């Protein structure tokens, strides 16, 4: 019988949570082109005007108030691309003031001539654990091709990627599932670098064909031992976040990658466009209600601690 949100309503055990993917920003003080400039960019959740405002630890903690969030992992926010170290310095100041975040996924352009120097500079900040630079991607499976400039096949992009291991950093990969063949090649060619796939491989198309393509891509990816996945970003524009819709995604990923390579994450405030923090985390709980307490502890806490080493 399917677990419903009502079945996991309070009281609940105080399960500790490390939120493995969230953002803070203050576009009134800092320049984020997508949050500050007009016109607004095309966005997978549609109109995002509601999040074009300061979002800092007090707002996050208010949203997560019903949960025992003990640490968080901040992921770069498409800050001014000319000043990636400015973002890292800023978020360290936020952490010093508020106690959150506790680990940082910073930005560096991997295909830039100065990529190695930028990565080394990011690695000197004490909370930086990983780098995210979204590779060039096609808009649909039909348009996907290997070898495009700025893609994971680009020799310049790979030259920058090669500097991650030397600096002890992971790589956070956000790309549609139809580019996971290139990610497999990347994981194989750089086995010392841990890759964390963001937002479940972006299974936005829930048609039979879309889910079949996504599942095949993620199954092949899961064969690589240096891959983990964040179960996050499951919202869809204009549709409610429901256990019925997302349970097959959650169960498929845990089945493919195993409990030890999956992490739950809020993607807040971005996913506040789709649902409340409570709806999302109650939904995650419902999706794994049949798992052992040890498994749930790994998914909500332990795996993020092991991979991101939050302070």
Kindly report, residue by residue over 72-114, the tens digit of the pLDDT.
999 999 999 999 999 999 999 999 999 999 999 999 999 999 9
CB 205 within 8 A of CB 188: no
The whole domain housing 262 covers 5-308
Kindly report, residue by residue over 9-33, the tens digit of the pLDDT.
544 558 999 999 999 999 999 999 9
Kindly report, residue by residue over 138-183, the tens digit of the pLDDT.
999 999 999 999 999 999 999 999 999 999 999 999 999 999 999 9
Average pLDDT over residues 225-243: 97
How does residue 195 score in pLDDT terms, banded at 50, 70 and 90? very high
What's the confidence (pLDDT) of residue 12?
54
Count of domains in the chain? 1
What percent of the chain lies above the pLDDT cut of 70? 96
Kindly report, residue by residue over 20-72, the tens digit of the pLDDT.
999 999 999 999 999 999 999 999 999 999 999 999 999 999 999 999 999 99
How does residue 3 score in pLDDT terms, banded at 50, 70 and 90? very low
Strands 128-132 and 68-75: unpaired
Kindly report, residue by residue over 199-213, the tens digit of the pLDDT.
999 999 999 999 999
What is the CATH number for 96? 3.20.20.140
What's the confidence (pLDDT) of residue 6?
45
Closest-CA residue to 230 (of 210, 253, 251): 253
Residues in the chain: 311
Listing DSSP states for the chain in one string gives: ----GGGGPSS----EEEEEEE--B-TTTS--HHHHSSSPPP-TTS--GGGSS-B-HHHHHHHTTTSEEEEEEEE-----TT-HHHHHHHHHHHHHHHS--SEEEEE--TTSTTHHHHHHHHHTSTTEEEEE-PPP--SSGGG--TT-TTSTT-HHHHHHHTHHHHTT-EEEE---GGGHHHHHHHHHH-TTS-EEESGGG-----SHHHHHHHHHHHHHHHTSTTEEEEE-----TTS---HHHHHHHHHHHHHHH-GGGEEE---TTGGGGTS-HHHHHHHHHHHTTTS-HHHHHIIIIIHHHHHH---
Average pLDDT over residues 279-302: 98
Distance CA(4)–CA(89), nearest Å, equals 42
What's the confidence (pLDDT) of residue 216?
98
What's the confidence (pLDDT) of residue 14?
80
What's the confidence (pLDDT) of residue 7?
44
What's the confidence (pLDDT) of residue 1?
32
């Amino acid at each position: 019988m399917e677990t419903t949100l009502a079945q996991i309503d309070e009281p609940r055990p105080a399960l500790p949570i490390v939120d493995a993917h969230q953002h803070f920003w203050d576009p009134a003080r800092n320049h984020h082109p997508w949050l500050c400039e007009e016109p607004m960019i095309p966005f997978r959740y549609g109109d995002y005007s509601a999040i074009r405002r300061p979002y800092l630890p007090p707002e996050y903690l208010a949203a997560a108030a019903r949960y025992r969030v003990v640490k968080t992992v901040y992921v770069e926010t498409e800050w001014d691309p000319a000043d990636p170290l400015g973002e890292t310095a800023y978020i360290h100041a936020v952490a010093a003031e508020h106690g959150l975040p506790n680990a940082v996924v910073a930005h560096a352009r991997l295909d830039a001539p100065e990529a190695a120097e930028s990565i080394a500079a990011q690695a000197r900040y004490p909370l930086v654990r990983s780098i995210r630079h979204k590779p060039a991607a096609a808009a649909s499976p039909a348009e996907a091709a290997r070898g495009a400039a700025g893609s994971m096949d680009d020799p310049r992009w790979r030259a920058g990627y090669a500097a991650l291991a030397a600096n002890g950093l992971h790589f956070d990969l956000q790309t549609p599932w139809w580019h996971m063949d290139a990610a497999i090649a990347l994981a194989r060619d750089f086995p010392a670098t841990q890759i964390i796939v963001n937002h479940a491989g972006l299974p936005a198309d829930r048609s039979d064909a879309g889910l079949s393509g996504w599942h095949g891509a993620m199954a092949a990816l899961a064969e690589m031992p240096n891959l983990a996945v964040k179960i996050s970003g499951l919202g869809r524009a204009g549709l409610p976040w429901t256990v019925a819709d997302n349970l097959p995604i959650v169960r498929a990923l845990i089945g493919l990658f195993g409990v030890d390579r999956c992490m739950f994450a809020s993607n807040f405030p971005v996913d506040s466009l789709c649902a409340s923090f409570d709806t999302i985390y109650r939904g995650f709980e419902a999706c794994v209600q049949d798992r052992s307490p040890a498994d749930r502890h790994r998914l909500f806490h332990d795996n993020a601690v092991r991979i991101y080493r939050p302070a």
